[in-house]
Structure 1
Amino acid sequence: MAARVVLALVCLVVMGRLSEAAVYKVGDSAGWTTIANVDYKLWASTKTFHIGDTVLFEYNPQFHNVMRVTHQMYRSCNSSNPISTFTTGNDSITLTNHGHHFFFCGVPGHCTAGQKLDLNVLLPASSSPLSEPPTSSPSPLTTTIPAAGVPGPSPNFSASLPTVAVGRVLVVVALLVTLVFGNFGS
């Protein structure tokens, strides 16, 4: 019985971490675009990004894309050799480690017009970092990426509203119920 209690407590800790993950739609209601004159630097400065958070790039794939690039490429808007390119128009990217993550639109002129984003993911507050990528395969529309490894400005500690990963929480709750009450009579 003591082992079940310990396992239940471990599950609660895991559930707490999973439920803290947030989903951020880049550019909020405007999305990923050049038309709305979104200041993506300002947008990112109002958010606090953590490991496990997801950024969602929504855009018209006929006119835009998303390229993950190095800091040097970001600064010069050089799209010749991106780390990765996303083209679905609904790209969901999970941030798996701390540091800066650099993105821009690779369509000529869009990056220089301001369609670029530098996300600074904070170090985990706990002593056990979550920087390991998940062991299960991500869904086809979800990509996990490491940070670019570039130091950056001081973190912004603005409040953010986390979006609960409901499916994951339900699985953990079901596991807890099974562990604690599954063999109650034995």
Structure 2
Amino acid sequence: MATVHKVGDSTGWTTLVPYDYAKWASSNKFHVGDSLLFNYNNKFHNVLQVDQEQFKSCNSSSPAASYTSGADSIPLKRPGTFYFLCGIPGHCQLGQKVEIKVDPGSSSA
């Protein structure tokens, strides 16, 4: 059955409270058919999907996708590694980024 993963659990997607998104991601199993839910204040944050190099360097200049609703549901449609960060200057450097490793799942047979 597909799972909705709330990024950051009750903390959400923020820089106001120090949060270890890498630890959160490593404590969850992501499968094809699941989705990520990013909850945040869209006056202060966004969600950008980027490639590995952009993720490592916190480069938000040319994202593959951009989300700004404050309650973004992103379906995980295929296996692989996906990278997300906040594109607000300085936020990625403060740790507001997450790497998601998606395993093939039985959710979308």
Aligned length: 109
In structure 2, the partner of 1:118 is 99
In structure 2, the partner of 1:71 is 52
One-letter amino acid of the counterpart of residue 84, structure 1: A
**Are the aligned partners of 1:97 and 1:130 in contact in 2 as well (CA < 8 Å)?**
no
In structure 2, the partner of 1:93 is 74
**Aligned partners of 1:54, 1:123: CA distance in 2, in Å?**
13
Identical-residue share of aligned pairs (%): 50
Q: Which has the larger radius of gyration?
A: 1
* TM-score, length basis structure 1: 0.57
- Tell me the C-alpha RMSD between the 2 structures: 1.4
Aligned with residue 40 of structure 2, among 47, 59, 64: 59
* TM-score, length basis structure 2: 0.95
**Aligned partners of 2:102, 2:60: CA distance in 1, in Å?**
23
1:23-42 equivalences under 5 Å are 23-42=4-23
- CA deviation map 1:34-91 (0-9, x unaligned): 1111100000000000000010000000000000000110000001100011000000
**Aligned partners of 2:3, 2:108: CA distance in 1, in Å?**
15
**Aligned partners of 2:41, 2:75: CA distance in 1, in Å?**
21
Unmatched runs of 5 consecutive residues or more in structure 2: none
Alpha-carbon distance, 1:123 to partner: 2.4
With a CA cutoff of 8 Å and minimum separation of 6, indicate the structure with the bigger relative contact order: 2
Looking at secondary structure, tell me which structure has more strand per residue. Answer: 2
